[in-house]
Amino acid sequence: MLTFRKEDFGFNHIIWLFSGRRGIHAWICDRRAREMSNEVRGSVSEYLRLVSVRISNNKPLKYLGK
């Protein structure tokens, strides 16, 4: 998950937080990230979810829809 910040999106300033109830959250503090629309932010989040699924089961992604 750490490589996405630079390699995939170019993010540099990230704070990782654990909320306890809802798990781990990444707060991206780069200006470009803060100015993203909700739609773009949602797309980044969906991309990261797909990447984490790929990493956890080590199988190629075949399904990219909801």
3-state secondary structure of 27: strand
Mean pLDDT of the chain: 76
Average pLDDT of the segment spanning 5-14: 81
- Cα separation, 34 vs 12, in Å, equals 13
* DSSP state at residue 46: H
Residue whose tokens read 């993010």: 11
pLDDT reading at 38 higher than 90: yes
pLDDT of 27 reads: 85
Q: What percent of the chain has pLDDT over 70?
A: 67
Degrees to nearest 5, angle at CA 64 with 20 and 1: 40
